[in-house]
């Protein structure tokens, strides 16, 4: 039995979607239309997961106090990161805007529920982190689905996971995966910001392909 065939035009558009999926750092303040986030999470839930466990948990952060705690954590961690750099690299880092926390209308924290009974433990005995990887797959699916509608995500990784977890008061067996700003990009570009700014260049795919 063969899968559904997708034509060349679709494959070209998929390649374009992947190329335009940027880590957005500047957002317009326009709110997302009602129901948009819920619909996109529904699409994200089509992602593959170990044992069909679907361990992803999306926490929409609307509470100003919680957002303030996350913002403070970013400020502290960002200052620490800057202090570890020197010279031109430090100057470049200082001028990079690494978070859309003040602009994006929607904040979403993603967790992996390691205590979920769904999936009945299939595939987790030898690799329990597969639950976390499954949640990452859902994040990527959400990112692509959002991008297809002109909506961007920004991954804020310069945070203390313990501070974020405590601020959001989630169950103890939920593992923090990432904190994301979400909204309409202030500008569009198919080239990553860090590449445009000279921080890093995209590696040749051949450099990460190995045969044994």
Any idea where the domains of the chain sit in the sequence?
Answer: 22-187
Say how many C-beta atoms besides its own lie within 10 A of residue 106's C-beta. Answer: 19
| 3-state class (DSSP) for residue 169 | coil
Residue 185 · residue 27 · CB < 8 Å: yes
> What CA–CA distance (Å, rounded) separates 153 from 38?
15
> What does the pLDDT look like over 50-78, one tens digit per residue?
999 999 999 999 999 999 999 999 999 99
Query: pLDDT grade, residue 2 (50/70/90)?
Result: low
Cβ neighbours, 10 Å, residue 171: 11
pLDDT of residue 20: 86
Of 136, 70, 55, whose CA–CA distance to 100 is shortest?
Answer: 70
The topology under which CATH files domain 22-187 is NADH Oxidase (3.40.109)
pLDDT for 77 equals 94
Q: Tokens 């602009």, residue?
A: 103
Residue 98's pLDDT band, with cuts at 50, 70 and 90, is low
pTM over 0.95: no
CA distance 15 to 80: 37
Which candidate, 113, 91, 106, places its Cα nearest to that of 27?
Answer: 106
pLDDT tens, residue by residue, 154-165? 999 999 999 999
Who has greater pLDDT, 22 or 178?
178
Average pLDDT in the 88-102 region? 83
Q: Determine contact, residues 102/109, Cβ cutoff 8 Å.
A: no
Look at residue 1 in the predicted model and tell me its pLDDT: 47
């Amino acid at each position: 039995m063969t899968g559904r065939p997708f034509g060349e035009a679709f494959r070209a558009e998929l390649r374009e979607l992947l190329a335009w999926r940027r880590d957005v750092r500047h957002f317009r303040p326009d709110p997302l239309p009602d129901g948009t986030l819920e619909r996109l999470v529904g699409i994200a839930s089509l992602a593959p997961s170990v044992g069909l466990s679907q361990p992803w948990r999306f926490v929409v952060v609307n509470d100003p106090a919680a957002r303030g705690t996350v913002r403070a954590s970013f400020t502290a961690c960002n200052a620490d990161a800057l202090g570890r750099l020197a010279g031109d690299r430090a100057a470049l880092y200082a001028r990079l805007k690494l978070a859309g926390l003040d602009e994006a209308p929607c904040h979403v924290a993603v967790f992996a529920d390691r205590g979920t009974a769904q999936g009945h433990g299939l595939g987790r005995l030898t690799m329990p982190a597969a639950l976390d990887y499954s949640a990452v797959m859902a994040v990527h699916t959400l990112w692509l689905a959002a991008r297809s509608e002109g909506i961007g995500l920004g991954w804020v990784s310069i945070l203390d996971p313990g501070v974020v977890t405590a601020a959001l008061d989630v169950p103890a067996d939920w593992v923090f995966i990432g904190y994301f700003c979400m909204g309409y990009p202030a500008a569009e570009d198919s080239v990553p910001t860090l590449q445009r700014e000279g921080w890093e260049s995209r590696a040749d795919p051949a450099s990460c392909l190995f045969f044994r």
